[in-house]
Homo-oligomer: A and B are copies of this chain.
Amino acid sequence: MEKEEEVRLLGFWASPFTCRVKMALKLKGVPYEYLEEDLMNKSPLLLELNPVHKKVPVLVHNGKPILESNLILEYIDQTWTNNPILPQDPYDKAMARLLAKFVDEQVAPAGFRSLVKAEKGIEVAIEEARELIMFLEKEVTGKDFYGGKTIGFLDMIVGSMIPYCGVRAWEFMGIDMIPEEKFPALNRWIKKLNEGEIVRECVPPREEHIKHLKRNEERVKSAYKRQT
């Protein structure tokens, strides 16, 4: 750890990817300057730091940009070694990274389809998303957190994506995606997450978030239709 740390985070308040980086910095107790990006009018700094994808979050540590939220979490964990984020055992680490990939590459798109892809039948899309989320239910069964006794890598990945992003969007659309009787472990885990300071301070404020989802509903749906 260097003497004169300069840590800046470029993010967007409602982004789950920004949220998980905030959680990691909070867990480590790293002070940082937060720069909110207007995604409709991106700053010259963001375009300079991430010229290819132009995406948030970007962590800037002593002038060097680090891109991609999960790689930022790995970087934070290796740079500030107190309160470990990733498991230490190589096999547990590989499993955590595999599940993180599964959340971002499979659960998140399936969850998104369950919100917008009514053509195929919304009920089918909901069941497909639930089948994937069931893996996350099993993984947290019998544990306080995915990371064991304390919040870790997967708690930040799943946490930013499911309770503080997906669940709010599903509720807004009137979908009870993870009912307690079907997903008891996941619901218990969410309650435990909500009690922690890390989460309370780092997740998008609920009321603002719901308003944001409402404002963006039509825009998101039409963007999705153009893609498919």
A binding-site residues for B, Cβ under 8 Å: 61, 64, 66-68, 71-72, 74-75, 78-79, 90-91, 93-94, 97-98, 101
A101 cross-chain contacts in B, Cβ below 8 A: 68, 71
B91 near A66: Cβ-Cβ < 8 Å: yes
B98 near A90: Cβ-Cβ < 8 Å: no
Given A71-B97, A97-B71, A98-B71, A64 contacting B78 (CB threshold 8 A): no
CA distance A93 to B68 in the complex (A): 13
Nearest neighbor of A70 in chain B, beta-carbon distance: B97
A98 near B68: Cβ-Cβ < 8 Å: yes
A66 cross-chain contacts in B, Cβ below 8 A: 91, 94
CA distance A133 to B79 in the complex (A): 31
A91 near B75: Cβ-Cβ < 8 Å: yes
A75 near B98: Cβ-Cβ < 8 Å: no
State the oligomeric state as a number of copies: 2
B75 near A79: Cβ-Cβ < 8 Å: no
Nearest neighbor of A90 in chain B, beta-carbon distance: B78
Which of B64, B68, B90, B93 sits near A91, CB closer than 8 Å?
A: B64
CA distance A94 to B68 in the complex (A): 9
B67 near A90: Cβ-Cβ < 8 Å: no
User: Which 5 A/B pairs are nearest by Cβ-Cβ distance?
Assistant: A78-B90, A75-B94, A71-B94, A66-B94, A79-B90
Nearest neighbor of A88 in chain B, beta-carbon distance: B78
CA distance A125 to B91 in the complex (A): 40
A93 cross-chain contacts in B, Cβ below 8 A: 74-75, 78
Not counting A74-B94, A78-B90, a sample of 17 additional A-B residue pairs whose C-beta atoms are within 8 angstroms of each other reads A61-B91, A66-B94, A67-B98, A68-B98, A68-B101, A71-B94, A71-B97, A71-B98, A71-B101, A72-B94, A74-B90, A74-B93, A75-B90, A75-B91, A75-B93, A75-B94, A78-B93
Nearest neighbor of A101 in chain B, beta-carbon distance: B68
CA distance A75 to B93 in the complex (A): 8
CA distance A92 to B101 in the complex (A): 21
CA distance A64 to B93 in the complex (A): 13
B97 near A74: Cβ-Cβ < 8 Å: yes
A67 cross-chain contacts in B, Cβ below 8 A: 94, 98
